[in-house]
Amino acid sequence: MPYDFLKSFYNSMREGLYAFDDDGKITHFNPSAQKLLGYDEEELLGKIGHFVFHAHHGNQGLLQCSLYKAFLQGKPYESEETFLTKEGKWIDVCVRANPIFDNEVKQGYVVIFWEIDKTSYLEKNETTETAKNHFFYEESELEESEAFYEQIFETANLGIALLDKEGRFVALNPAYSKIYGYSEAELIGKHFNLLVPEVLHEITQAHHETFLRHEAIAYNGEMESLCKGGKRIYVYATEGLLEQIIGGPYKIMTVFDITLMVEARRVQKEQEVMLVQQNKLAAMGEMIGHIAHQWRQPLNVMNMTTLDLKFKQELGSLSDEKLKSALEVIESLSDQMSNTINDFMNFYKPNKDKKDFCLYETVLYATQIVNVQLQNVGISLSLNIDPSLKVHGLANELQQVILNLLGNAKDAFVNKPIEPKQICLVAWKSEEGLFLGVEDNAGGIDEGLLERIFEPYFTTKGKMQGSGIGLYICSMIMRESFGGSIKVENITHEDAAIGARFILAFPHA
């Protein structure tokens, strides 16, 4: 493999790469890694990465680090991790690592990583300038550097391929062959569309040509591919340009197999749909309970009124004025019961059109549904929300979140001699966004449970009292329907928890 190609690949690859020796000390830190984490190579040479940018290093010793344990065992490693940039920002990354062997003796470890959201970290001009600044000019290091780059290319479990202007394979590493099931000889000289579903041939060829002419941005994302024999897989692909090599420009492609991840995501989506349906059925049962509570009193009044009319008629004391008055009472109560049913129907009316809506009106509507039940158990409810605040999303799904939180707060008061029992909903606005807090004074949540409170099927009520999916659904609704989040904390006074506060965070409408 030509040294110039390997060196250009190291400097221009889009993924971050660093290598460390048998003592765990960093020996190489490529330009993309510098861009991602904000460190210069000189700042990290000779240091152990675990103690510098592994976000878990404060909670784990070096020997507890999964990546370092794999290195000690001489095994490949892949996982999702959280790294800490020089500026203190946490980034979620995918990590793939392989040991480097020389004559079957482990010499070190190569780690390739990329941020999960996959934004483009190196534009062409930045890459070229960075590459110039990181060439190894010392002749004495040339042989060692060439061996290092070749080891990366040959041992990386990231598939790497080089394509010419026509889209034919010029070079590829063993990992690329393994992903697609072809030998190197079967792919060299063949067009890349051999690995692409036929329906995408024209699109991928057009993009290849425009990319090499600098008329299209580099693609990085998920795509469907074909293995040998026609089996379909999913890969995450990135691409870059190599223009300083004879015969160029070439396109360098990197791929890794994400078929299992895509399948797991599909299964998770199906499970989430099932969880949402379960939650809706549970909420519907609770809503029927609310209707029963709100109907009980007017039904009793209507029953007493009709008995009174019948009694007065039998005694001959039923005047037109008394009949009219009694009928007006019955009519008013009928309207009230009809409105309750309308509220029930509107609450469950499917609506997936996101729009701006008034936060106060939406919260008020949800609280009115359960307020009677809260009053029956001695819980007072207060709102402190500016009517001018707007939220963008699905109003009926926010109402579902509110009802879940109010139901949990009500249950938290059960068998607790607390007076007065209070639930408060308060909203505020800041530069970060809009926030809605749901607070109670029911004694708070065990500190050991706070981190697990939004996990599916986790409940503090016992298996007979709770399904454990309500708060998980709340977090899913906040994320998917509003692009926001939900968190929980205890309200404390003199180091004692007096209640819980759930905070819903919304981006600015």
Count the alpha carbons within 13 Å of 233 in the hemisphere toward its beta carbon.
Answer: 19
Residue 287 CB: number of other CB atoms within 10 A? 19
Decide if 318 contacts 309 (C-beta within 8 A).
Answer: yes
What's the CATH code of the domain at 428? 3.30.565.10
Range of the domain at 323: 264-348
**Co-location of 150 and 166 in the same domain:** no
Query: Which residues, including other chains, have CB under 8 Å from residue 54's CB and lie 6 or more apart?
Result: 60, 65, 67, 81, 83, 84
SS3 500: strand
> Are 421 and 314 contained in the same domain?
no
> Do 193 and 142 lie in a common domain?
no
Token pair, residue 51, equals: 């103690």
Residue 109 belongs to domain with CATH number: 3.30.450.20
Containing 255, the helix (H) or strand (E) segment is strand 250-257
- Domain co-membership, 379 together with 344: no
My answer on whether 178 and 292 are in the same domain is no
What does the angle CA 28 – CA 29 – CA 32 come to, to the nearest 5 degrees?
Answer: 145
User: Is there a single domain that holds both residue 296 and residue 306?
Assistant: yes
End residue of a domain, out of 114, 131, 156: 156
Task: Return d(Cα 207, Cα 210) in angstroms, integer.
Answer: 5
In Å, what is the CA distance from 69 to each residue of 105, 327, 331?
Answer: 17, 81, 76
Which of 314, 330, 348 delimits the end of a domain? 348
- Same domain (yes/no): 307, 174: no
Judge if 340 and 371 occupy the same domain.
Answer: no
Of the residues 128, 156, 184, the one at which a domain ends: 156
Of 398, 400, 391, give the one whose Cα is nearest residue 429: 391
Q: Where are the alpha helices (DSSP H) in 377-490?
A: 395-412, 470-482
CA R_g for the chain: 32
Structure tokens at 87: 């500026």
Residue 152 and residue 166 in one domain:
no
| Residue-level pLDDT, tens digit, the chain, 509 residues | 566 777 777 888 888 999 998 878 899 999 999 999 999 999 999 898 888 898 876 667 777 788 888 888 888 998 888 999 999 888 999 999 988 877 777 778 999 999 886 443 333 344 334 333 433 333 444 444 555 555 555 555 688 888 888 999 988 888 899 999 999 889 988 999 999 999 999 999 999 999 998 888 888 888 999 999 999 999 999 898 877 666 678 888 889 899 988 888 888 777 766 766 666 666 666 666 656 666 776 787 788 888 888 888 888 888 888 888 888 888 877 876 776 676 566 555 556 678 999 999 999 988 887 887 888 889 999 999 999 999 999 888 898 899 889 988 998 898 888 889 999 999 999 989 999 999 999 999 888 888 888 876 666 655 444 455 778 888 888 988 899 999 999 998 888 889 999 999 999 86
> What distance in Å separates the CA atoms of residue 424 and residue 502, rounded to the nearest whole number?
11
Helix (H) or strand (E) holding 282: helix 259-315
Whether 280 and 292 map to the same domain: the answer is yes
State how many domains the chain has. Answer: 4
- The vertex-265 CA angle with 114 and 219, nearest 5°, equals 40
Same domain, 127 and 228: no
CB–CB of 469/453 below 8 Å?
Answer: no
